[in-house]
Amino acid sequence: MAHPLDDFYAVIPAGGVGSRLWPLSRADAPKFLHDLTGSGQTLLRDTWDRLAPLSGEHRIAVVTGRAHRAAVERELPDIADRNVFLESEPRDSAAAIGLAAAILVAREPDVIIGSFAADHVIRGTRTFEFAVQQAVEVARAGYICTIGIQPTEASVGFGYIKKSGELDVDGAPEAATVERFVEKPDLETARSYFADRSYLWNAGMFISRADVLLDELARNQPELHAGLIELAEAWDDRERRGPAVDRVWPRLTKIAIDYAVAEPAAERGRLAVIPGHFDWDDVGDFASLAKLNSHGRNELAILGQNARVLSDASSGILVSQTSRVISLIGVQDIVVVDTEDALLVTTSEHAQRVKGVVDALKLTGRGDVL
């Protein structure tokens, strides 16, 4: 990018532990604070680096929990203090993104915000930038715009966005309206979606004028909207922010932005989509982490700078966070995650069940390793 987009502000919601990546991801070391690609830096930092050319470094806001403030500032030393929005406790994505929208619109009425998860992996910078540029054009035209990923397989791990007609917006040749959102499908349905090119993966990227997004939220979640406006009015006043947070935060509705904003907007024909042709993954579980890090089938992917591994006829993924010697012999599609206080052994096939273990650990009083 030669120049950032003048009216664009990037928002990075950095919440979500990533339970299905336990014991790598923890409450105190969530997914976005890990290097899951071997890039040498965290997913959060990757996200920042991807957005900075679009918005400029001084126009990236991060919404995160108080517990992660220090880690976020360590990863992003150039972030302005006023661009770190701290949640006193998690209230799901509508509250996180809505808060950012409300604060930013109070500072800059015509601002366009784009929200991008802190813990997704994207490859293909120019294609990504082209998609965001188009989405910003569509947002300027008054739509809420999402970027839907053009599927590369019949995945059952993602929700889908059904495109309908083309949308005529200058500078956005690929824009279309969204007919509807669909939840994660079964395999047969996923295959039919994959064959029908009008279904895209829902990557949770939303680009919109902040005021348009807030209007949509007011329409569907008036109480949540009122709370966020109350917070935003007090936010930039050091004396008023604390009391406002104490007063408002506990009663903010917990709801995903998809339900509170995107789906209702789609029903009213106000949601647009730009197809994203770049590689994207939400790294939802170890199966996807394995796929992301392996260079071929029947290979063992290894994550961990100091891994001491001796592998014989094994494939899958090994995550090493200790200095122990690890030997894998004759295990296929294995998932081994070796940390100081917890060890996980499973297979790609069962990667989705890791969340159940986390729930069981909570119930059985072993929350010390979560």
Contact positions toward a copy of itself, by CB under 8 A? 23, 308, 310, 312-313, 323-331, 334, 336, 338-347, 349-350, 353-354, 356-357, 360-361, 364, 366, 369
User: Minimum CB separation from a copy of itself for residue 300, in Å?
Assistant: 11
- Closer residue to a copy of itself (CB): 111 or 344: 344
- Closer residue to a copy of itself (CB): 139 or 331: 331
Q: How far is CA 20 from each of CA 88, 295, 330, rounded to the nearest angstrom?
A: 24, 23, 25
- Closer residue to a copy of itself (CB): 188 or 359: 359
DSSP string, 33-50: GS--SSSSS-HHHHHHHH
Residues 6+ apart with CB under 8 A from 237: none
Give CA–CA dist 24/36, Å, rounded: 10
User: Minimum CB separation from a copy of itself for residue 299, in Å?
Assistant: 16
Yes or no: say if 329 and 313 are a contact pair by the CB < 8 Å rule. yes
What is the CB neighbour count within 10 angstroms for residue 353?
12
Residue type, 263: E
User: Minimum CB separation from a copy of itself for residue 347, in Å?
Assistant: 6
Give CA–CA dist 259/220, Å, rounded: 9
- Closer residue to a copy of itself (CB): 58 or 353: 353
- Closer residue to a copy of itself (CB): 223 or 341: 341
Q: How far is CA 62 from each of CA 32, 76, 84, 113, 233, rounded to the nearest angstrom?
A: 12, 10, 5, 12, 19
User: Minimum CB separation from a copy of itself for residue 184, in Å?
Assistant: 20
DSSP string, 112-131: EEEE--TT-EEE-HHHHHHH
């929350």: which residue's tokens?
367
- Closer residue to a copy of itself (CB): 69 or 366: 366
- Closer residue to a copy of itself (CB): 160 or 286: 286
DSSP string, 133-155: HHHHHHHHTT-EEEEEEPPSS--
User: Minimum CB separation from a copy of itself for residue 301, in Å?
Assistant: 15
- Closer residue to a copy of itself (CB): 192 or 323: 323
DSSP tag of 67: G
User: Minimum CB separation from a copy of itself for residue 156, in Å?
Assistant: 17
Q: Are strands 316-320 and 300-303 parallel, antiparallel or unpaired?
A: parallel
User: Minimum CB separation from a copy of itself for residue 43, in Å?
Assistant: 23
Yes or no: say if 147 and 205 are a contact pair by the CB < 8 Å rule. yes
User: Minimum CB separation from a copy of itself for residue 288, in Å?
Assistant: 16
